[in-house]
């Protein structure tokens, strides 16, 4: 026990040292201090009255420098700010003093209104905060992988902005005052609000093929120099986005996960249950279905038009049901012939059902290896304690992104991720 503790402490220290070495070894532009960003945000919100104030100051400086040339600098400043009267009063100086008071009042009112807007309209404040970012990473799509990327960028104190059209997804970020834009990322104006013109990297995490293409093209037109990383599901789309004019670096989180599943399934025979008719589930079914002495049974409700079309394979059977329980499986499948079960539901609301099915299978059919798709690393230990094997497309993707960006020589916070946190195999 003591040795394990010491080993953990050494790993944590090594990880911290690695982060420190990496940061000092590269010229990474760290984000502006939070208070400085707040200051810039305030200035942007009151720039109109502030500009008028500066013009008035310049006008007073020129006028009083000419008419009161014998005064020292301190007296000159007092005259400009209307605190003292000039030695030779004039109509202009009287009007100037009166208007100066009004201009200062407008600046103060603008500051008060901007503070109220920040408090009662945080969405606008977050959008302005996103737009003023520079040399940052734009995260397009705040899903599980997007959250993981955000956490690592924030931990490494590297600048970022986020855009998602679902308010619920980013609600906590907005309440925290993070640089977030709520809107359709395919629209040019919304992308501009993320600071895309000045970003160094954009990561597209959309699940929609049309969206990915549209976003990638718009980003390249707006910013010819930034690196574009795009998650894709189809090889044809990958080849399309890699070519000019987009020249994006593509990746597939499901393909990365399949590498682990391929390793887990190589020396196993018998029937595999794949529960969940989604992209991940279908890739697992196709992988195992191509193996000799293997049979695959996909179990789910097959009326989801958004799911990719599964290739027809003689070794893959389907069971159409919206209520996948142990009782249903016992009545529909010869569970004694099942050696593996992959629960691939990609909805957090279905995770409770995953745990119930896992528990029942482990208790009644302990010889079946049950793999459960998870979304948060906190659930990793829970699934293992219940006797399952957790896997994830988003959590495991961080390590693969690290390798991908190393190949691109990309100086990013991803390179400072501790791989021991995310390798679950």
pLDDT tens for each residue of 88-128:
788 888 888 888 878 877 777 777 666 655 555 678 878 88
Distance separating alpha carbons of residues 197 and 226, to the nearest angstrom: 9
Q: Is 164 in a helix, a strand, or coil?
A: strand
Are the CB atoms for 206 and 212 separated by under 8 Å?
yes
Residues of the chain predicted below pLDDT 70: 1-45, 112-121, 303-314, 396, 398-400, 402-403, 405-425
Are the CB atoms for 308 and 344 separated by under 8 Å?
no
Are the CB atoms for 160 and 136 separated by under 8 Å?
yes
Distance separating alpha carbons of residues 340 and 368, to the nearest angstrom: 5
Are the CB atoms for 110 and 42 separated by under 8 Å?
no
> For the chain, how many residues are written?
425
Are the CB atoms for 242 and 260 separated by under 8 Å?
no
Are the CB atoms for 192 and 218 separated by under 8 Å?
no
Strands 160-164 and 137-140: parallel
Q: Which pLDDT score, from 0 to 100, does residue 181 have?
A: 96
Q: Is 112 in a helix, a strand, or coil?
A: helix
Residue reference for tokens 């990638």: 216
Distance separating alpha carbons of residues 7 and 265, to the nearest angstrom: 31
Distance separating alpha carbons of residues 394 and 377, to the nearest angstrom: 10
Residues 6 or more apart in contact with residue 314 via CB below 8 angstroms = none
Are the CB atoms for 398 and 423 separated by under 8 Å?
no
Q: Which pLDDT score, from 0 to 100, does residue 33 have?
A: 46
Count the alpha carbons within 13 Å of 11 in the hemisphere toward its beta carbon: 11
Q: pLDDT digits over 241-256, tens only?
A: 999 999 999 888 888 8
Distance separating alpha carbons of residues 310 and 305, to the nearest angstrom: 12
Q: Which pLDDT score, from 0 to 100, does residue 337 have?
A: 95
Among 282, 336, 274, which residue's Cα sits nearest to residue 299? 274
Are the CB atoms for 66 and 92 separated by under 8 Å?
no
DSSP state of 303: -
Are the CB atoms for 90 and 67 separated by under 8 Å?
yes
Q: Which pLDDT score, from 0 to 100, does residue 12 have?
A: 40
């Amino acid at each position: 026990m003591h040795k394990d503790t010491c080993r953990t402490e050494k790993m944590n220290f090594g990880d911290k040292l690695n982060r420190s070495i990496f940061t000092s070894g590269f010229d990474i532009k760290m984000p502006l201090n939070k208070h400085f960003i707040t200051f810039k945000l305030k200035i942007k919100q009151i720039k109109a009255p502030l500009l008028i104030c500066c013009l008035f100051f310049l006008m007073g400086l020129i006028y009083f420098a000419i008419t009161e040339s014998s005064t020292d600098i301190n007296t000159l400043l007092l005259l400009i700010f209307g605190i003292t009267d000039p030695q030779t009063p004039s109509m202009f100086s009287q009007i100037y003093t009166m208007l100066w008071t009004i201009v200062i009042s407008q600046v103060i009112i603008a500051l008060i209104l901007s503070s109220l807007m920040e408090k009662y309209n945080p969405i606008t404040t977050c959008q302005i905060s996103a737009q003023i970012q520079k040399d940052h990473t734009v995260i397009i799509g705040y899903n599980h992988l997007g959250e993981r990327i955000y956490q690592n960028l924030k931990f490494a104190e590297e600048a970022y902005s986020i855009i998602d059209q679902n308010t619920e997804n980013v609600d906590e970020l907005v309440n925290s005052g993070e640089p977030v834009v709520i809107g359709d990322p395919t629209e040019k104006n919304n992308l501009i609000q993320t600071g895309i013109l000045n970003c160094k990297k954009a990561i597209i995490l959309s699940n929609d093929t049309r969206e990915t293409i549209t976003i990638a093209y718009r980003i390249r037109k707006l910013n010819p120099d930034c690196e574009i990383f795009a998650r894709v599901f189809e090889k044809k789309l990958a080849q399309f986005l890699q070519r000019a004019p987009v020249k994006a670096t593509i990746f597939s989180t499901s393909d990365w996960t399949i590498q682990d599943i391929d390793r887990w399934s190589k020396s196993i025979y018998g029937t595999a249950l794949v529960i969940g008719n989604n992209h991940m589930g279908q890739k697992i079914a196709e992988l195992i279905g191509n193996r000799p002495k293997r049979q695959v049974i996909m179990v789910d409700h097959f009326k989801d038009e958004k799911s990719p079309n599964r290739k027809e394979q003689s070794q893959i059977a389907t069971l159409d049901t919206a209520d996948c329980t142990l009782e249903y499986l016992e009545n529909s499948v010869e569970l004694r012939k099942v050696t593996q079960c992959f629960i691939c539901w990609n909805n957090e609301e279905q995770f409770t059902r995953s745990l119930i099915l896992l528990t029942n299978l482990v208790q009644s059919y302990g010889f079946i290896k049950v793999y459960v798709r998870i979304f948060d690393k906190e659930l990793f230990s829970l699934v293992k304690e219940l006797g399952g094997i957790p896997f994830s497309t988003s959590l495991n993707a961080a390590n693969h992104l690290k390798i991908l960006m190393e190949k691109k020589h990309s100086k990013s916070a991803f390179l400072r991720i501790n791989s021991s946190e995310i390798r679950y195999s």
